[in-house]
Amino acid sequence: MTSQTIHTLFKPLPGEQGAAAIEIWFNDRPLTVAAGRSVAAALFAAGISRFRATPVSGAPRAPYCMMGACFECLVEIDGVPSRQSCMVEVKAGMRVRSQEGARDLPPAAPIDASLENAHGR
Amino acid sequence: MAADFASEAVDVVVIGAGPAGMSAATRAARAGLKTVLIDEQDAVGGQIYRAIGKADARRKEILGPDYAAGAAIAEGFAASGARHLTNASVWQVTRERGVNFLKDGKIGSFDAQRVILASGALERPFPIPGWTLPGVLTAGAAQILLKSAGEVPAAPPVLAGCGPLLYLLGWQYVRAGVPIRALVDTTRHEDRWRAKRHLLSALRAWPFLSKGLQLIRTLREAGVPIFEAADDLRVESRLGADRVEHAAALSFTTQGTAHRIEADVILLHQGVVPNTQFTQALRASHRWDDAQLCFTPNVDAWGELDVPGIFVAGDGAGIGGAQAAALQGTLAGLAAAAQLGAVERAKRDAEAAGLRRALADVTRIRPFLDSLYRPRDVNRIPRSETIVCRCEEVTAGELRKFVELGCVGPNQAKSFGRCGMGPCQGRMCGLTVTEVIADARQVSPAEVGYYRIRPPIKPLTLGELAGE
């Protein structure tokens, strides 16, 4: 996502002891996140709600199960694609990229699913 | 090829560090066996006791006494002498009890005398229109965010579906001071009537029953709007300011009345089912459980599969809950130790008798729960527009067309339309695909069968496999 606008789905519990803030990169932009959690949890709390686009229709996806089963949270971490962001602990300096399916879609391209032939490939 | 790669010989490998796995490893290690517990997380607990070792008093207070009880099991394991291999994902277990795993980008292997699979449960697929949208998660996922990261929905969520975990999450949110937009319960009045058949046995498990009633009472007292007998669930979307399509509302009906509740976070749950990836890949025999609506591996009284030397403990052998899992883990660890000559048969049997009595006590409520929270047909066998296979975006309608064209089972569905061939390897669609095909063919799910699961169970790169 190149858009600056965020859509915060989860936030730290009010009154929770503040976790150390660390800097990571998300889609080539610096992002301040809380440490001591999975990449997925860190991205959620930093207002990221689109983790990847599907290879079939380009539909946006975000974590669904948070336990390594659904593979909806796949991102690229430090150059390695298809990492399960719910299973990897976030570390300072990590370079995280949303995974744009198999089609190399331009980020944030408006997607009209009705124009897509889901099984035409 | 895998250079300087050797298997390490051990007595017992246990896979999964939830209550079953911790208990199994503890028992085997206490018998003096060289025991390794392998798990994907950085600490013990599994999902039910996730992050139990780092939870402070406040977190335990919010999550409740059932969660806090996991600390004793974790302490027992820590003192047992068993080795704990963290952050390691097992991608293959062979019938010869070879255990292949990936840790820190490197593969490793154990050659075990006995293997105990304790990979627990997965939440049952909940295929409704819009369930793939960002903002729709399982109740279990939300609970993991709470346990492991102290995160809660940024705006009041809708909780929808049925089953103890859904109400427990609501109860935990109330204790944490997190407002809930609504609880949308799919349990119908006829489910309550049907479940009454099992009420007598449930009453004998009064502590469990009363705990469940308390959860719902807490939600009512907190003023959470509760909708009962909800039908026609559908997640509606909107384009956010970030130009991304998100969940925006849950629409549903109750007895013909239409409702629409706006929420950015919609948490779905309709029970849990055994995680059978390993047992299916091992080609162990499974049966269709019509009470729990899932495939369950066939095991003997100790949890041993029809693959000699390989056991299943906990929810992976049929849903029984955390307390049952711990007892089954101890039973499997005990049986493995006896088979390897580390525990005498008479001692095994004496210890097992007590464990089995306790197991009967904690599972007495199950028939009642299975009946009361039996997920509705339409929420398992969805209407045609609904996506069944999330990875490859195959709808129920497409699946039914495959059947019209002659597709008889899940494995053929793969070649008809890539259904089940994405990275989740059928974890999110397997049971739905079986039931949709069975319904379309008017045969039993047992006859339709399940996906043929193959290793690697967890993805690894060719480079990792080659030991680069």
A31: helix, strand or coil: strand
Instruction: Give Cα separations from B110 to B122, B403, B421 (angstroms).
Output: 26, 42, 29
In a domain, A15, yes or no: no
Contact assignment for A69 to B275 by CB distance below 8 Å: yes
A-chain residue closest to B263, CA distance: A9
Cβ pair B457, A68 in contact under 8 A? no
Share of residues in chain B with pLDDT > 70 (%):
99
Total residues found in chain B within this entry: 468
**Mean pLDDT across the stretch B256-276?**
97
Nearest to B180 by CA among B63, B272, B265, B282: B265
Of A10, A56, A68, the CB nearest to B393: A56
3-state helix, strand, coil in chain A (%, to 5): 10, 30, 60
CB contact under 8 A, B153 and A61: no
Whether A42 is in a domain gets the answer yes
Residue B169 CA, chain-centre distance (Å), reads: 16
In a domain, A13, yes or no: no
Q: Which residue of A has its CA nearest to B392?
A: A56
Give the whole-angstrom CA distance, residue B161 versus residue B176.
21
Is residue A26 assigned to a domain? yes
A15 pLDDT band, cuts 50/70/90, is: confident
- Residue A47 sits at φ, ψ, to 5 deg, of 90, 15
Q: What does the DSSP 8-state code read for residue A13?
A: P
pLDDT for B26: 98
In chain A, what residues touch B62 (CB-CB under 8 Å)?
A: 13
Least confident of A77-81, A110-114, B318-322: A110-114
pLDDT at A118: 43
Question: What is the C-alpha separation between A12 and A20, in angstroms, rounded?
Answer: 12
* pLDDT value of position B200: 81
Report how far residue A5's alpha carbon sits from residue B241's, in angstroms, rounded to the nearest whole number: 6
Residue A114 has pLDDT above 60, yes or no: no
Q: What is the pLDDT of residues A65-88, one digit of tens each?
A: 999 999 999 999 999 999 999 999
Rounded to whole angstroms, how far apart are CA atoms B143 and B145? 5
CB within 8 Å of B175: residues ≥ 6 apart = B61, B62, B64, B218
Question: How many contacts does A have with B, using Cβ atoms within 8 A?
Answer: 158
Q: Do A50 and A60 form a contact (C-beta atoms < 8 A)?
A: yes
| Token pair recorded at residue A11 | 């936030």
Residue of B nearest to A54 (CA): B391
CA-based nearest residue to A31, from A55, A4, A64, A10: A4
> What's the count of helices (H) and strands (E) in chain A, helices before strands?
1, 8
User: Which residue, chain included where needed, has tokens 């009537």?
Assistant: B193
Nearest-by-CA chain B residue for A39: B149
A77 within domain boundaries: yes
Give the residue from B15, B59, B87, B132 with the most A CB atoms within 10 Å of its CB, the best one to mutate.
Answer: B132
- The alpha carbon of residue A48 and the mean position of all alpha carbons in its chain are separated, in whole angstroms, by 6
Structural domain that includes position A83: 21-101
Residue A4 has pLDDT above 90, yes or no: no
**Mean pLDDT over all residues of chain B?**
95
**CA pseudo-torsion sign A41, A7, A53, B232:** positive
| Chain B interface, best mutation among A66, A80, A87, by max B CB count within 10 A | A66
* Domain annotation covers residue A11: no
How many CB atoms lie under 10 A from the CB of residue B89?
A: 19
For the cut 60, the answer to whether the pLDDT of residue B4 exceeds it is no
Nearest to B89 by CA among B70, B78, B104: B104
Contact B304, B298 (CB under 8 A): no
How many distinct structural domains can be found in chain A? 1
Q: Reply yes or no on whether the pLDDT at B241 is more than 90.
A: no
Question: Do residues B434 and B445 lie in contact, with contact meaning Cβ atoms separated by under 8 Å?
Answer: yes
- A10 with B145: Cβ contact below 8 A: yes
Here the CATH number for the domain that contains residue A77 is 3.10.20.440
B401: left (phi over 0), alpha (psi -120 to 50) or beta: alpha
Instruction: Quick: pLDDT tens for B390-446.
Output: 999 999 999 999 999 999 999 999 999 999 999 999 999 999 999 999 999 999 999
Helix axes B396-404, B410-417, angle to 10 degrees: 100
Query: Three-class SS string for chain B?
Result: CCCCCCCEEEEEEEECCCHHHHHHHHHHHHCCCCEEEECCCCCCCCCCCCCCCCCCHHHHHHHCHHHHCHHHHHHHHHCCCCEEECCEEEEEECCCCEEEEEECCEEEEEEEEEEEECCCEEECCCCCCCCCCCCEEEHHHHHHHHHHHCEEECCCCEEEEECHHHHHHHHHHHHHCCCCCEEEECCCHHHHHHHHHHHHHHHCCHHHHHHHHHHHHHHHHCCCCEECCEEEEEEEEEECCCCCEEEEEEEEEECCEEEEEECCCEEEEECEEECCHHHHHCCCCEEEECCCCEEEECCCCCCECCCCCEEECHHHHCCCCHHHHHHHHHHHHHHHHHHCCCCCHHHHHHHHHHHHHHHHHHHCCHHHHHHHCCCCHHHHCCCCCCEEECCCCEEHHHHHHHHHCCCCCHHHHHHHHCCCCCCCCCCCCHHHHHHHHHHHHCCCHHHHCCCCCCCCCCCCCHHHHCCC
The Cα–Cα gap between A27 and A85 comes to 14
Identify the H or E element spanning A40.
helix A39-45
Of the candidates B149, B150, B243, which has its C-beta nearest A108's C-beta? B243
pTM value?
0.94
3-state secondary structure of A43: helix
Q: Compute the nearest-CA separation of A21 from chain B (Å).
A: 13
The mean pLDDT of B229-243, rounded to a whole number, is 91
Give the pLDDT mean for B361-376. Answer: 93
Give a yes or no: residue A120 inside a domain. no
When pLDDT is averaged across residues A38-57 and rounded to a whole number, the result is 95
Strand pairing category for B266-270 and B136-138: parallel
Decide: B334 and B346 in contact? Cβ < 8 Å. Answer: no
The total number of residues written for chain A in this structure: 121
Whether B435 and B442 have beta carbons less than 8 Å apart is answered as no
Q: What are phi and psi of B89, to 5 degrees?
A: -105, 125
- Computed on alpha carbons and rounded to an integer, the radius of gyration of chain B in Å comes to 22
What DSSP state is assigned to residue A41?
Answer: H
Mean pLDDT of A8-23: 87
Confidence of residue A101 (pLDDT cuts 50, 70, 90): confident
Give B468's pLDDT tier (boundaries 50, 70, 90): low
Cβ–Cβ gap A69/B427 under 8 Å: yes
The answer to whether residue A87 is domain-embedded is yes
